Structure 1
Amino acid sequence: MLVKKANNIISKQWYYQSNPMHRELWMRHPRSALYVIPYWIAFWGGMGYTTYYLGRMVLGQKA
C-alpha cells in the first residue's frame, strides 16, 4: 500500500521561525541566494542605468 506523505507545514514553519541565523526571512532558505542575488544585481543595474542617462538628459547630452 502506497502512503502519501503529508505536507510538512509545521516543520517548515518551525524551520523559518526558529532559525538562529539573524537574516531576513527571504534569505533564510539555502537556495534563496539563487533568486535574490540576481534580482538585486538586475535591480541596481537598472537603477544605475536609469540614473546615468537621466543625468545625461538633464545636462543636454545625447546618448
Structure 2
Amino acid sequence: MLVKKVNNIISKQWYYQINPAHRELWMRHPRSPLYVIPYWIAFWGGMGYTSYYLGRMLLNKKD
C-alpha cells in the first residue's frame, strides 16, 4: 500500500515569510544561487555584448 506524503504548506509558508536572512524572495531557497547567479551572469554578459557592438555600430567601426 502506498502512503501519500502530506504537503506541509504551513511550514513552507513559515520558511518563506519568517526567514531570518531577510533576503529577496527569489534568493531565500537554498538552491536559488544555482539558478539565479548563472542567469544574472548571462543577462549582464548579453547586455554588455549588445552595448559594445551598439557602440561600434554608432561609431561606424566594422570588423
**Structure 2 length normalisation: TM-score?**
0.92
Letter in 2 for 1:43: F
Question: What's the offset of the Cα at 1:9?
Answer: 1.4
* Unaligned runs of at least 5 residues, structure 1: none
**Structure 1 length normalisation: TM-score?**
0.92
Question: What's the offset of the Cα at 1:28?
Answer: 0.5
SS of 2:61's partner is coil
Match of 2:55 in 1: 55
Question: What's the offset of the Cα at 1:3?
Answer: 2.5
CA distance in 1 between counterparts of 2:35 and 2:48 reads 20
Match of 1:34 in 2: 34
Match of 1:7 in 2: 7
- Alignment RMSD, CA only? 1.0
CA distance in 1 between counterparts of 2:2 and 2:51 reads 59
* Percent identity (aligned): 86
- Give structure 1 regions of 4+ aligned residues with deviation exceeding 4 angstroms: none
Question: What's the offset of the Cα at 1:2?
Answer: 3.9
How many residue pairs were aligned? 63
* Unaligned runs of at least 5 residues, structure 2: none
